[in-house]
Chains A and B, each alone.
Chain A
Amino acid sequence: MTSSHVMKFMMGLYLFIFFTYLFGPLIIMSFTAFNSAEFPAITPWECFTFRWFNEGKIAYDGQHLAGLFTDWRLHDGLISSLIIGGGVVLLAVPIGMAAAIVLTQVKSQLRDIYYSISIMPVLFPGVIIGISTVVLWDRLAGLGGEGFISEIGRNGIFLTILAQTCFISTYCFLIFVARLQRFDQTQEEAALDLGASQTQVFFKILIPYLAPAIASAAVIAFLASFENYNTTVFSILSDQTLTTVIASKVRLGISPALSALALSIIALTIIAAVTYEILRRREEKKYALSQEKYVTEKAAISRIDKDYKVGFKIPKGIVAIILLVILCSYGGTQILKNDLYGQSCIDAADKEKKSKFLDQLQVLEQNELSDEELGGGNLGGNLDYGDIFGDPNLFQDFAF
């Protein structure tokens, strides 16, 4: 064993801990979405179920636990989140782009000042942005009587779009600044020289160049808006977004439906990322091919002898995949063998819990104290003290 082995081992261990820290909670949470228990848990495992994705359940004690599909508050929240996200993208991307373009035009010392001011909104606490937006629009809404202004000034979705745009446009600004820094300004001049007007330069040269930045700014803006809580919780007023709905649910006690929601979001994210990666690689391949074609075209006698390694390449993630398959099949067989799935299992579990619940109820009923006892006896006042003072043995040792 050499020091480099140790180094490698430590590195591996570190990575393992790091990724466990990062993804462990998410993985555990994903499993709880499939457990039929009313509280998100892996142990004790009750039954394997999809109900938290669908209808949820009415618990034996009469409590209604909505599933992902039937929870209208989540749905409403999701819809307002989507509307707000769209609105923020529409506002923040152009604002960020305009600010970044202005930055390229500002020369001299003003530039630093302008830059600092532009990025300031990210440094403000979101709470303050939310509150100040509400305060301002409340005033504005109060000014104009019962008109349009007062309508939108008290519209939570509108205010949230404005408030979030405040700082999200700064993210967009930074993305555009990064891209514009690599822009060759002589291209603009070349276009002008060839007779283009300023507007044509903007639409034919600058916008195509900025297209990738526009796309990433839009995605970032949407995500930032979608997950925002601090600002939204103030500016949304009487409406609800997904995050505020989730937050209020958590306050009441969490249900596995939230795990189901989280898992859905994770799945969507992974699918989007994978699709993007596949598309990107395809694009890259196309580009590489066209380059290669061009090279071979150019070299009259191609001295580039390429021999392609045809064959199956072992994917790098094979170990992880095998591990996952083994785990899943093990879990699956355990669930099947022990009949831990389906309606029958759930019914059985419910029955058991119900009977336990009834037993407990009975015990309670048996132990029920009389009104007088509950009232703390003759001494009155606090019930607990009442009990204490009610204990005849308590003062036994003291001889009066």
Chain B
Amino acid sequence: MSADVELSNVSVTFGSFFAAKNVSVKIEGGEFFSFLGPSGCGKTTLLRAISGFQDPSEGNVLIDNKDMSGIGPNKRPTALIFQNLALFPLMTVSENIAFSLEVRGVSKTDRQKRADELLELIALEGQGEKKVHQLSGGQKQRVAIARALAVEPKVLLLDEPLSALDLKLRQRMRTELREIQKRVNITFIYITHDQGEALTMSDRIAVMNEGELEQVGPCDEVYNNPRTPFVATFVGENNPIYGRIKSIDGKTVEIDTPDGIFRSTINDNTNLNINDDAIAFVRPESLFLPRSDDNFDNSLPVIIDSFEFEGNIKNFYAHLKSGTKIKFSVPNAIDTSHIKNGSSINLGFDSQKSIILPKAPLAID
């Protein structure tokens, strides 16, 4: 059983500080939905509002179309996985998992049965008698998930559950989480500041900045068609090129920059006029080394500063004549031995692979 979660105009204030500001979003039942945003942007606050630990100062939280105001966290059909997991250190793994059943007065044998089922789900069969401190990081993670799933919540809320794990384990847990979600088929609301995590797991993501939602949508849409400069630079990497709108022709826009005139694409709901300050964004993987048979819309003259080998790709750091920094990446398969530090080359990119947005603050990393 899964449930819709709807936030309608939710604001949370601490004194005069808005930790969440006018957030409205509808999360469908059975969806894997992520809130993505930098540290301190109000993600945890929002999650606590959904689970009932934090009353919104304004607006409502609705679960299955039912207003949740005045309903405590122990009465809501949600289960929260805390940023620090908050497993009970004095209990065994099984006791941890069955805690929610114990407080509901379920008999010991039934509890044990359910705990064993869940241990199987998280691939920890036969380890129920261990104490929490005897588990590895990833195992603790899975126990926290099993504990949250024990009473079959309709919504599972996860607060950066993977942030404490190392890279390899994090990647494995991503797939596992996704699989568990498919198996139990309930709504997952996931919080992270790691855009890779959000993109790989989620059906839809919401990008947050300073308590406000910047954009909500499917992963590829947010990645390919960012609505604001913040989203463009926070989700994935992007090269901003500042300039002024020179001409608008349908979806194609010309932008006048100190380094020349480039052609770029404008979104349907972006409001820009001639002479407005704007930023053109090109992703590192959309910048190509020129080849004779290619015919790009734009040519970008850069001077190479440095180079970085990442395995499957090579990253080049360069700058334009005006000083604007540019990063571009080349698949490892392509020979780049002729590119030296200090050499000048022309990069090519297509107007469809570039997005133009009104000038606004970027995400600072």
Contacts and interface: CB of A to CB of B under 8 A. Distances in A.
Interface of A: 184, 186-187, 189-197, 200, 204-205, 208-209, 290-291, 294, 298
Nearest to A297: B134
A204 B162 CA distance: 27
A228 B294 CA distance: 95
Q: Which of A189, A194, A204, A208 has the most CB of B within 10 A?
A: A194
A191 B151 CA distance: 13
Contact of B88 (A205, A291, A294): A205
B134 A291 contact: yes
Contacts, number: 64
A316 B51 CA distance: 57
Interface in B59-86: 72-74, 78-80, 82, 84, 86
B26 interface: no
Contact of B74 (A186, A187, A195, A291): A195
A200 B52 CA distance: 18
Contact of B82 (A186, A204, A291, A298): A186
Contact of A204 (B53, B103, B104): B103
B234 interface: no
A209 B84 CA distance: 18
A327 B79 CA distance: 69
B84 A193 contact: no
Contacts of A196: 74, 99-100, 103
B167 interface: no
12 contacts: A186-B82, A186-B84, A187-B88, A189-B73, A189-B86, A193-B51, A195-B74, A196-B99, A196-B103, A204-B103, A291-B134, A298-B136
9 closest residue pairs by CB, A with B: A194-B100, A190-B86, A186-B86, A196-B103, A193-B80, A294-B134, A195-B74, A200-B103, A193-B73
Contacts of B88: 187, 190-191, 205
A381 B86 CA distance: 90
B168 to A, nearest CB: 17
Contacts of A200: 103
B147 interface: yes
Nearest to A200: B103
B51 A184 contact: no
B90 interface: yes
Interface in B153-194: none
B113 interface: no
B86 A194 contact: no
A193 B79 contact: yes
Interface of B: 51-53, 72-74, 78-80, 82, 84, 86-88, 90, 99-100, 102-104, 130, 134, 136, 147-148, 150-151
Contacts of B99: 191, 194, 196, 204
Contacts of B51: 193
A193 B47 CA distance: 12
Contact of A192 (B73, B84, B87, B136): B73
Given A194-B148, A196-B103, A205-B88, 20 more contacts: A184-B84, A184-B86, A189-B53, A189-B80, A190-B86, A190-B87, A191-B88, A191-B99, A191-B103, A193-B80, A194-B74, A194-B79, A195-B74, A196-B74, A196-B99, A196-B100, A204-B103, A208-B90, A291-B134, A294-B130
Contacts of A204: 99, 102-103
Contact of A195 (B82, B86, B103, B130): B103
Contacts of A192: 53, 72-74
A194 B84 contact: no
A291 to B, nearest CB: 7
A247 B99 CA distance: 55
A284 to B, nearest CB: 14
B151 A194 contact: yes
Contacts of B79: 193-194
Nearest to A199: B103
Given A189-B73, A189-B82, A190-B82, A195 B100 contact: yes
B84 A197 contact: no
Contacts of A184: 84, 86
Nearest to A298: B136
A291 B80 CA distance: 30
A190 B72 CA distance: 13
Contact of A194 (B72, B134, B147): B147
A193 B74 contact: yes
A193 B73 CA distance: 5
A140 B322 CA distance: 90
Contacts of B53: 189, 192-193
Q: Which of A189, A195, A290, A291 has the most CB of B within 10 A?
A: A195
Nearest to B147: A194
Nearest to B159: A186
A204 B95 CA distance: 11
Contacts of A194: 74, 79, 99-100, 103, 147-148, 150-151
A290 B151 contact: no
A23 to B, nearest CB: 39
B50 to A, nearest CB: 11
A200 B101 CA distance: 12
A187 B151 contact: no
A192 B72 CA distance: 9
A298 B124 CA distance: 13
A367 B72 CA distance: 97
Contacts of B104: 195
Contacts of A193: 51-53, 73-74, 78-80
Given A190-B82, A204-B103, A291-B134, A195 B90 contact: no
A196 B150 CA distance: 13
A193 B102 CA distance: 13
Q: Which of A184, A192, A197 has the most CB of B within 10 A?
A: A192
Contacts of B80: 189-190, 193
A123 to B, nearest CB: 35
Q: Which of A187, A197, A200 has the most CB of B within 10 A?
A: A187
Contacts of A205: 88
Contacts of A209: 90
A298 B80 CA distance: 30
Nearest to B72: A192
Nearest to B98: A194
